[in-house]
């Protein structure tokens, strides 16, 4: 599934090559964060590292906020110059792929929590708070 997202991003880069589209530093920054999340998720899974898994889950929240911010920025660019709608739509698909890859990294982290503590944290806002609540019971 991650490979599908990467393939979609590569297609966007190829399709937009040579076209004048707004430069988005945020998109590149988000890509770096998601790449690090995925790497750390696989490392946390290998080491069954609960703390790293919690950090990845928290990073996913930041990625989701950044996704929404960049999406609004792209919509503004489309409204300002309608000639860029096609290339910007491609960037939106790539942005969505990055966000989904971040979600997959977070899913791996949630599985680590399950393997280490036996807790299903899939729908918890704060894994740390949830683990603390369970420990208090």
At 11-57, the pLDDT tens digits run 877 877 777 766 667 788 999 999 999 999 999 999 999 999 999 99
What pLDDT does 62 receive?
Answer: 93
pLDDT in the model for residue 23: 65
Rounded Cα distance, 70 and 59, in Å: 16
Cβ proximity of 97 and 136 under 8 Å:
no
Q: How far apart are CA 66 and CA 61, in angstroms?
A: 9
User: What number of helices (H) and strands (E) belong to the chain?
Assistant: 5, 0
pTM of the model: 0.84
How confident is the model at residue 22, as a pLDDT? 67
pLDDT at 70: 92
Contact 105/38 with Cβ under 8 angstroms? Answer: yes
| pLDDT per position as a tens digit, 51-109 | 999 999 999 999 999 999 999 999 998 898 888 888 888 888 889 999 999 999 999 99
| pLDDT mean over 111-132 | 84
Whether residue 137 has pLDDT greater than 70: no
């Amino acid at each position: 599934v991650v490979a599908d997202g990467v393939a979609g991003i590569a297609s966007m880069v190829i399709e937009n090559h040579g076209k004048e589209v707004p430069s988005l530093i945020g998109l590149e920054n988000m890509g770096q964060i998601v790449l690090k999340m995925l790497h750390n998720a696989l490392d946390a899974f290998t080491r069954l590292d609960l703390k790293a898994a919690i950090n990845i889950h928290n990073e996913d929240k930041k990625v989701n906020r950044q996704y929404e911010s960049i999406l609004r920025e792209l919509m503004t660019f489309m409204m300002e110059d309608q000639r860029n709608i096609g290339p910007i739509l491609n960037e939106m698909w790539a942005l969505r792929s990055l966000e989904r890859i971040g979600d997959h990294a977070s899913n791996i982290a949630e599985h680590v929590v399950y393997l280490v503590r036996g807790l299903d944290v899939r729908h918890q806002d704060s894994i740390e708070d949830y683990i603390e609540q369970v420990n208090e019971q």
